[in-house]
């Protein structure tokens, strides 16, 4: 058994405990938490300055883009960002397989215990299989050519099967509301009934412009690429009205990623339709690509179930959930760390159905993370992670 004492212990299944004592089995199973000094001197108490919390759940990553670190220019907006990927990829000198392995290790060192990872290929199977981090792979499809929908779907299902036959969980998901033909959307949803779904959602102002006014940078990009989107995308409907609400039942669990440009009416529509909508934010990637952050005050007012993602090293300098929280609190200092940590640990674990992760509930095995260099309960620019369990 280990006894861990810290300035603050934030269990997330109960209120934070000042100068708390966390009792855990040697294998990391939580026994209990209290604020009473142990009477036994059988065990040495490990004393830490800082905040102790459960391991982080990174709900949005693209591990297979890890070799694209420091390649993409910042603040271009999403349309330019996406259109530059193929060329920049060719300029890349890093070995993809090594970069994936390195990124996985770095996430583990950053206190991340579980990851929802967007996968377009099977490049990450081996690393995920051998990793101490728990992965769910979202096998992502896109394609606006309706004649190719069947082929894309068959290829996607093959990739899902490869993950599953390696003992990894995986599900088929759409990339974004604007990047699939109705035929492909329908195909993806028909093959992913009762599975975990995710979608990039309202990441850029040009997504809303495309749907509502058929103009803007994304519309221009599609036109340049020769896609006849006007006959497909059902203009005048917003992202959810086009790609989610007509297809999916109320009880479908869905993780909406980014939502940087979601307005109150967009949020209301989705929250009214779905009983299990989760709202993932990747603030550092939003800042990197668009130089903007979501309206977290609105999200909190709407009582959304918020989770944290790091996105990929193509649009972030690190895959660290804590660094995402630091950026949020720097700009929204009134959001308490306790609440941010429930986004970073508990809500993600709940989305994936990982009952053993996300809080210090007795009997669970969530990992134990120390956040050093804090100011009371507030994070500071120097706050960093030390993995205790």
Residue closer to Zn ion (CB basis): 311 or 350:
311
User: Rg of the chain's alpha carbons, rounded to an integer?
Assistant: 21
Task: Please give the residues from 344 up to 363 whose contact with Zn ion meets the rule CB under 5 A.
Answer: none
Residues 6+ apart with CB under 8 A from 254: 197, 198, 199, 244, 248, 274, 276, 277, 278
Written as six digits, the tokens of 114 are 């579980």
Residue closer to Zn ion (CB basis): 179 or 347:
179
Residue closer to Zn ion (CB basis): 266 or 311:
311
Written as six digits, the tokens of 153 are 């779907």
- Closest separation between CB of residue 309 and Zn ion, Å? 7
- With tokens 């440009």, the residue in question is 261
- Closest separation between CB of residue 336 and Zn ion, Å? 27
- Closest separation between CB of residue 241 and Zn ion, Å? 22
Residue closer to Zn ion (CB basis): 68 or 369:
68
- Closest separation between CB of residue 60 and Zn ion, Å? 6
The C-alpha angle with vertex 298 and arms to 350 and 262, in degrees rounded to 5, equals 85
- Closest separation between CB of residue 285 and Zn ion, Å? 7
Task: Please give the residues from 293 up to 352 whose contact with Zn ion meets the rule CB under 5 A.
Answer: 311
Site string for Zn ion, 121-140 (x = CB under 5 A): --------------------
Q: Which residue(s) pair with 116 in the sheet?
A: 136
- Closest separation between CB of residue 270 and Zn ion, Å? 18
Q: Is 195 helix (H, G, I), strand (E, B) or coil?
A: coil
Residues 6+ apart with CB under 8 A from 158: none
Residue closer to Zn ion (CB basis): 12 or 118:
118
Residue closer to Zn ion (CB basis): 289 or 370:
289
Residue closer to Zn ion (CB basis): 118 or 379:
118
Q: Rounded CA gap, 323 and 288, in Å?
A: 13
- Closest separation between CB of residue 200 and Zn ion, Å? 5
- 3-state DSSP helix/strand/coil percent for the chain, to nearest 5? 40, 25, 40
Q: Rounded CA gap, 15 and 344, in Å?
A: 16
Read off the DSSP letter of residue 158.
H
N-terminal to C-terminal alpha carbon distance within the chain = 12
Residue closer to Zn ion (CB basis): 17 or 314:
314
- Closest separation between CB of residue 288 and Zn ion, Å? 12
* Total interface residues for Zn ion by CB under 5 A: 1
What phi-psi label fits residue 28: left (phi over 0), alpha (psi between -120 and 50 degrees) or beta? left
Q: Rounded CA gap, 340 and 127, in Å?
A: 29
Interface residues toward Zn ion, by CB under 5 A = 311
């Amino acid at each position: 058994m280990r006894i861990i004492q810290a300035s603050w212990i934030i269990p997330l299944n109960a209120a934070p405990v000042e100068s708390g004592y966390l009792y855990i089995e040697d294998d990391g199973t939580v026994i209990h938490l209290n604020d009473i000094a142990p009477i036994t001197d059988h065990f040495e108490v490990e004393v830490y300055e800082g905040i102790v919390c459960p391991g982080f759940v990174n709900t949005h990553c693209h591990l297979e883009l890890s070799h694209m670190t420091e390649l993409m220019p910042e603040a271009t907006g999403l349309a330019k960002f996406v259109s530059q990927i193929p060329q920049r990829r060719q300029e890349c000198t890093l070995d993809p397989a090594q970069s994936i392995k390195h990124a996985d290790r770095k996430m583990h060192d950053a206190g991340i215990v579980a990851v929802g990872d967007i996968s377009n290929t099977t490049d990450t199977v081996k690393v995920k299989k051998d990793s101490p981090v728990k992965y769910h792979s979202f096998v992502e499809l896109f394609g606006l050519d309706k004649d190719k929908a069947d082929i894309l779907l068959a290829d996607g299902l093959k990739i899902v099967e490869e993950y599953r036959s390696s003992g990894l969980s995986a599900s088929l998901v759409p990339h974004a509301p604007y990047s699939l033909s109705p035929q492909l959307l329908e195909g993806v949803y028909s093959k992913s009934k009762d599975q975990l779904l995710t979608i990039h959602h309202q990441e850029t102002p040009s997504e809303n412009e495309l749907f509502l006014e058929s103009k803007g940078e994304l519309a221009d990009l599609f036109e340049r690429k020769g896609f006849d989107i006007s006959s497909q995308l059902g203009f005048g409907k917003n992202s959810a009205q086009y790609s989610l609400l007509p297809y999916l039942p109320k009880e479908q669990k869905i993780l909406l990623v980014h939502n940087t440009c979601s307005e109150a009416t967009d949020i209301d529509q989705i929250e009214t339709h779905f009983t299990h909508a989760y709202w993932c934010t990747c603030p550092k990637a939003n800042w990197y690509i668009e130089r903007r952050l979501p309206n977290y005050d609105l999200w909190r007012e709407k009582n959304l179930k918020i989770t944290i993602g790091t996105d990929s090293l193509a649009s972030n300098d690190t895959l660290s959930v804590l660094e995402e929280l630091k950026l949020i609190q720097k700009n929204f200092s009134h959001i308490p760390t306790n609440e941010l940590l429930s986004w970073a640990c508990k809500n993600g674990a709940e989305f994936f159905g990982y009952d053993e992760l996300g809080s210090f509930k007795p009997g669970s095995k969530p990992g134990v993370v120390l956040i050093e260099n804090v100011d009371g309960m507030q994070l500071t620019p120097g706050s960093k992670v030390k993995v205790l369990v």
